[in-house]
Amino acid sequence: MKRSIRIFLILLIGGIIGFFLIKNQTKSHSPEETIHYRTGNLKVEVFYNRPAKRGREIFGELVPFNQVWRTGANEATTFWVNQAIQVDGSLLDAGRYSLWTIPQPDSWKIIFNKKMYAWGIDLSTQEAARDEAYDALIIEVPTQKLPETVERFSIHFEKQNHLHYMVLSWDQTQVSFAFDKLNKKT
């Protein structure tokens, strides 16, 4: 009995150590980033991991077209907003969402999902972990071809003509969507 307990403890400790070693190794290739955007009383925060191109063909190859992508690497990307907003003209309630995308050659679907996921993929199937039953909002936006290659997947915010934009860029592809406060005074 004591021997079984020792073996179990050794395996458990070894598994925990192995998990953290693998996690740290993947973080060195796709570092974490948290970005904040604030305008007036509107606050937005995005957490994501930033994989690098490293000479690979990205969209259509590494990230297949017409399949759900975790929108980065490692953990699922999260999007938090402190108040209800309009995203590309549609209502998105205040809260935290996992952010998924479905890249296509000429457009991407952007998906805000109410469920939080420990990791961006199901490790047994290697497919996106998203459960579509929790989708809160799906929009589709056109892609833009960039003149320069973006080596590391990036998300940033911009403000143009009184609208706020979240911009996703990698390789020579960029997508963006507009968002704004609901009860904006004019």
Write the pLDDT tens digit of every residue in 80-131: 999 999 999 999 999 999 999 999 999 999 999 998 877 666 666 566 668 8
DSSP characters over 57-68: -TBTTTB-TTS-
What is the C-alpha R_g of the chain?
19
Residue 29 predicted with pLDDT over 90: no
pTM tops 0.85: no
Q: Kindly state the percentage of the chain with pLDDT values over 90.
A: 65
Contact 140, 176 (CB under 8 A): no
The pLDDT-based confidence of 186 (bands split at 50, 70, 90) is: very low
Phi and psi at residue 38, to the nearest 5°: -140, 135
Displacement of CA 132 from its chain's centroid (Å): 15
Q: Which is more confident, 89 or 175?
A: 175
The pLDDT-based confidence of 20 (bands split at 50, 70, 90) is: low
Compute CA distances 29 → 24, 43, 67, 99, whole Å: 9, 29, 23, 21
Contact 161, 131 (CB under 8 A): no
Query: Residue 4: its pLDDT value, please?
Result: 72
Residue 26 predicted with pLDDT over 70: no
